[in-house]
A and B are shown apart, each in its own frame.
Chain A
Amino acid sequence: EPEVTQTPSHQVTQMGQEVILRCVPISNHLYFYWYRQILGQKVEFLVSFYNNEISEKSEIFDDQFSVERPDGSNFTLKIRSTKLEDSAMYFCASSELQANSNQPQHFGDGTRLSIL
């Protein structure tokens, strides 16, 4: 079964440093997403991406965050200057292009980001 893959599985970074999280969505999917889950809390939406642009973003997704599809397969999340509160599990997801929004999103196994 096709799956979303994420790298690295664990990233440890000093506060203030930039970090890039990488994702390879399922190959025939055209919608891509980033979510995060702080330890012990619920999964929260960050951003969705379609046709090379952001289609939705949450209040969490401020100017420190950016997303990019640098080539035909990768989808990245960059955090410019990390803060302690950015420590979380970051999940990438993708879904098919359909007219309605009922298409389920399939999640990668996440990148655990630890900010020191």
Chain B
Amino acid sequence: RKEVEQDPGPFNVPEGATVAFNCTYSNSASQSFFWYRQDCRKEPKLLMSVYSSGNEDGRFTAQLNRASQYISLLIRDSKLSDSATYLCVVILDTGRRALTFGSGTRLQVQP
């Protein structure tokens, strides 16, 4: 099983749509989870941390399911500017700080 696994997409959605991405991780003891976004040939930018109880930031909602070892990101009312690759990122081992990245899910929002 890959350490952090994502559907590569692409997800092509119209403006205003709701889209959801899932990600699975291999280590049940993992404690820290994040979603980053990456535009083409740019650096990863933190979108949001993912907390056990789930959390929301504007149009973005992140959920964590520890029993099934998956993380989700929901984007409501998609904008053209949301077009990017969304990276699921996990600190796999307790006490470490190294980020393990998924390969990313590409989102293309169309007018």
Q: Report which A residues bind B (CB closer than 8 A).
A: 31, 33, 35, 41-45, 48, 55-56, 58, 89, 91, 95, 100-102, 104-110
Contact = CB atoms under 8 A, between A and B. Distances in A.
Nearest to B45: A107
User: B interface, by DSSP: helix, strand, loop or mixed?
Assistant: loop
B96 interface: yes
Contacts of A95: 97
Contacts of B101: 42-44
Interface core residue of A41, A48, A102 (most chain B CB under 10 Å): A102
Contacts of A89: 41
Contacts of A107: 43-45
Nearest to A47: B98
Interface residues of B, number: 23
B36 to A, nearest CB: 8
B31 A109 contact: no
Nearest to B43: A107
User: A interface, by DSSP: helix, strand, loop or mixed?
Assistant: strand
Contact of A91 (B44, B97, B103): B44
Contact of A101 (B42, B46, B91, B100): B91
A89 B44 CA distance: 12
A69 B13 CA distance: 45
A101 B34 contact: no
B87 interface: yes
A101 B31 contact: yes
